[in-house]
Structure 1
Amino acid sequence: MHPADLSASGSFAPPPAAPRFGVNYTPSERWFHHWLDFDLDSVRADLDSVAALGLDHIRVFALWPYFQPDRALIRPRAVEQLGALVDTAAERGLDVNVDGLQGHLSSFDFLPAWTRTWHRRNLFTDPDLVHGQAAYLRTLAAALADRPNFLGMTLGNEINQFSTGPHPDPDRATEGQIDAWLERMLAACEAGAPGRIHLHAEYDATWYQDDQPFTPAQAARHGAVTAVHSWVFNGTAQRHGPTGVPTEHHAAYLIELSKAWADDPHRPVWLQEVGAPAPLIPPGHAAAFTEATVAHALDCPGLWGVTWWCSHDVSRDLADFPELEYGLGLLTNDRRPKDTARALARAARAPRPAPAPRTTALAVPSDLRARSRCAPGGPVYDAFFRLVAVGARPTAVLATRAHDPAHLAARGITEVVHPDQVLTPHGRRGGART
């Protein structure tokens, strides 16, 4: 999808003819702390190694405290360096999505001092703080707006983790307050760079956690595309092992689950983060997991693209990361491709026909307090994967839309089944046909 396909209102166009393939860029030297000692030659070498895989885009993380250390100070030099990185990517044929509000990365929180401790204010509701965030996002977007390879802004990385438990110091907000915050932040991005692909992205608690104020409806209705982040350390790999059907299809499940909440039946979905976390996915199986995960995601109609986590390993010179974070890169710190990189490169090169519609839909509850039914071990989750295990290609539909002929027809759904029709001793009993 070219940015010109988007209207100034931020509405979205159909997904590209072929899904995009990219990677979340983690610098090989100094990780995201490279912004403190920015070395464009090192970035060039990193992006050469990414481009050699045949990928077409990267997702870049501008660490918020380094870019906006004071509410009234957005560092011009940092913004200039971000522009240089985007230009360097363009020289290598790579488009760039930029995350603004970091936010949370690899188990660490990165929030400016003017939001915490003695200056503690709510990230989502304090008027001054919200104004500062909007100014920051607008500034980054405007600085990149004239670059053809700038895809657009993501508000921040999994910022929903700040909104409730298990975060130890959450910035609590209501669903309505989060709605207003999302609208304000996306409008700021649109004001800075009209017509680009501006979106927000949360971790899977949005879909699975009953008390999350970031909701599935927000994920599927705000912004240009729906983003999902698939990590099988959420109980999936623990329950089903590295080769289990739910493990290999978890990304596809989230893609299809998200469609239940979309108002537009053809809204694109971006698999914006997915990776092979050791030891749940043993290093020797990581390439096979990558191949299976990507293949099943590509079998989902309306997929915008796949963006793997991540480009380069975290250096062992850095301390205090969880062990799994050090080895998630497609490439080593000296920029050598691993088997996972080769698997993703093969998928990016392979021609693929557009997937057929998924005609069987599993009904999912619209009650936000029932989201845990869709989580690992829940009846929706279990029913979905039982269908997959017998060869079906299910999607999802809200139970409140299960008898809406126009909605079902627009999505190509001809049969709706309910979890209790699947999870019986005798297997699937059949569903309501449209």
Structure 2
Amino acid sequence: MSVRFGVNYTPRQGWFHHWLDFDLDEVRADFDDIASLGLDHVRVFPLWPVFQPNRTLIRPRAVEQLVLLADAAAERGLDVAVDGLQGHLSSFDFLPSWVTTWHRRNLFTDPDVIEAQARYLAELAGALAERPHFLGMTVGNEFNQFSGDPHPDPDRVDAREAGSWARRMIEACDAAAPGRAHLHASYDAAWYDGTHPFTPAHAARIGAMTAVHSWVFNGTAQRHGSDGAATGLHAAYLVELSKAWATDPARPVWLQEVGAPAPFVPPERAASFARTTLLNVLDCEGLWGVTWWCSHDVDRALADFPELEYELGLFTQGRKVKPVGEAVAGVARDSLPAAAPRRTALVVDAGDVVSAPLRPMLAPGGAYFEAWMRLASDGARPAVVLAQRVGEAGHLVGRGVEEVVTVEQVL
């Protein structure tokens, strides 16, 4: 199957606040822009407090508007993936009043909240279940950021509780829309922070596929520079890293977010960064697809965004395609050969497989990260294998691995 190419849909008018003043003609115009690049899907973001303002109220009109949006996408040849619990977007949190202040309840452990979330996700999935262009639900956009530091008011949870919550959300989606690709998505603390309750095992073992979000402002670009090999390889690294924790060697991986954030990637280098990143990640077996962040620049009339968030789009506010948009479209149009198996694997030991307490070694500057990047920049195409599975009968053969090396041997 060929790799899918799409974009995270950021409405040109009103950003995600467009749900408050929903204009289907504006949505159609935005989707016309996206379709003009030859992309095949969009990831869309209902705002949780707009759709479920009370624990027992899911607004029918909001759900109807989501279906209208999805059908408008389909009319332009775009499949639709829906993120449910928004949750968190571009530094802003969107939580309904029934989980905050006087009604403060834990988002991951309170029984009433869990059942309300599951009911909400099921409502959205069920509304789209008969649409052939509906790809599936993502439980939420980096919802794991609510679970610990550095969030200013975290909902504390342990790894067992985090896994239980994610499984319950996926079960609700599966029951409402069977056979679709339902999953959950974390920001990279799940891979790089040994104290974070959402772990690589959760990402790679719960849901229909593994999602990774690649942002090089996490220390990669600061350490290696905007044109450093590691910066262009970061997305591929996360894809390969995720496979080490997967129990199914054929489990697909979705590069669900990747973008060129200034000033870490200067605007004049954004197109080159995009091409390099995409070509590197297309060299990974099992890649389901790539969804660029994002479709349209944010209107600067909207206040208080971090500066880097305003100009991440493939299109300007004036609907003009940017060089980075042309670069993404160009790679999407190319007919590239399927990725070959990776014959060399770098062994990783992050401690206990489920909790992975030694995850900082996987982060930019960590010994494992730097060793993998050294191998990759030398052309070795390293896979990643858990130390606990190196001796497991058939595991290396099943992944096509013929040679294993250690961090100590590389560094």
- 1:404 deviates by 2.1
Q: Distance in 2 between matches of 1:130 and 1:310?
A: 30
Matching residue of 1:9: none
Matching residue of 1:282: 266
- The answer to whether 1:185 aligns with 2:169 is yes
SS, match of residue 199 in structure 1: coil
Q: Distance in 2 between matches of 1:360 and 1:200?
A: 29
- The answer to whether 1:303 aligns with 2:287 is yes
Q: Among residues 18, 31, 40, which one is paired with 1:34 in the alignment?
A: 18
Q: 1:326 is aligned with what amino acid?
A: Y
Matching residue of 1:392: 380
Q: Distance in 1 between matches of 2:317 and 2:349?
A: 45
8 Å Cα contact 1:21-1:56 kept in structure 2: yes
Q: Distance in 2 between matches of 1:240 and 1:44?
A: 40
Correspondence list, 1:8-157, <5 A: 17-157=1-141
Q: Among residues 398, 404, 420, which one is paired with 2:392 in the alignment?
A: 404
Matching residue of 2:253: 269
Matching residue of 1:212: 196
Q: 1:350 is aligned with what amino acid?
A: D
Q: Distance in 1 between matches of 2:63 and 2:178?
A: 18
8 Å Cα contact 2:82-2:137 kept in structure 1: yes
Q: 1:324 is aligned with what amino acid?
A: L
- The answer to whether 1:333 aligns with 2:317 is yes
Q: Distance in 2 between matches of 1:194 and 1:357?
A: 31
Q: Distance in 1 between matches of 2:377 and 2:300?
A: 40
- 1:366 deviates by 3.9
- The answer to whether 1:420 aligns with 2:408 is yes
8 Å Cα contact 1:30-1:315 kept in structure 2: yes
What is the CA deviation profile of residues 149-186 of structure 1, one whole-angstrom value per residue up to 9, with x for unaligned ones? Answer: 00000000001101110111110111111111111100
What is the CA deviation profile of residues 131-158 of structure 1, one whole-angstrom value per residue up to 9, with x for unaligned ones? Answer: 1000000000000101110000000000
8 Å Cα contact 1:366-1:400 kept in structure 2: no
SS, match of residue 369 in structure 1: coil
Q: Distance in 2 between matches of 1:335 and 1:25?
A: 13
Q: 1:54 is aligned with what amino acid?
A: G
Q: 2:2 is aligned with what amino acid?
A: A
SS, match of residue 69 in structure 2: helix
- 1:388 deviates by 1.2
Q: Among residues 159, 168, 174, which one is paired with 1:175 in the alignment?
A: 159
- 1:192 deviates by 1.1
Cα RMSD, aligned residues only: 0.6
- 1:402 deviates by 1.5
Q: Distance in 2 between matches of 1:366 and 1:221?
A: 17
Q: Distance in 1 between matches of 2:72 and 2:88?
A: 25
- The answer to whether 1:383 aligns with 2:371 is yes
Matching residue of 1:428: none
SS, match of residue 357 in structure 1: coil
Q: Distance in 2 between matches of 1:35 and 1:223?
A: 28
8 Å Cα contact 1:25-1:59 kept in structure 2: yes
SS, match of residue 200 in structure 1: coil
Correspondence list, 1:208-287, <5 A: 208-287=192-271
SS, match of residue 249 in structure 1: helix
Q: 1:422 is aligned with what amino acid?
A: V
- 1:335 deviates by 1.3
Q: Among residues 355, 364, 372, which one is paired with 2:360 in the alignment?
A: 372
Q: How many residues align?
A: 407
**TM-score of the pair, normalised by structure 2:** 0.98
Q: Distance in 1 between matches of 2:309 and 2:12?
A: 13
Q: 2:369 is aligned with what amino acid?
A: Y
Unaligned segments of structure 1, at least 5 residues: 1-16, 424-434
What is the CA deviation profile of residues 356-395 of structure 1, one whole-angstrom value per residue up to 9, with x for unaligned ones? Answer: 1011111111421100010010010000011012111001
Q: Distance in 2 between matches of 1:251 and 1:282?
A: 18
Q: Distance in 2 between matches of 1:375 and 1:366?
A: 11
Matching residue of 1:427: none
8 Å Cα contact 2:350-2:361 kept in structure 1: no
**TM-score of the pair, normalised by structure 1:** 0.93
- 1:405 deviates by 3.9
- 1:124 deviates by 0.3
- 1:334 deviates by 1.8
Q: 1:285 is aligned with what amino acid?
A: R
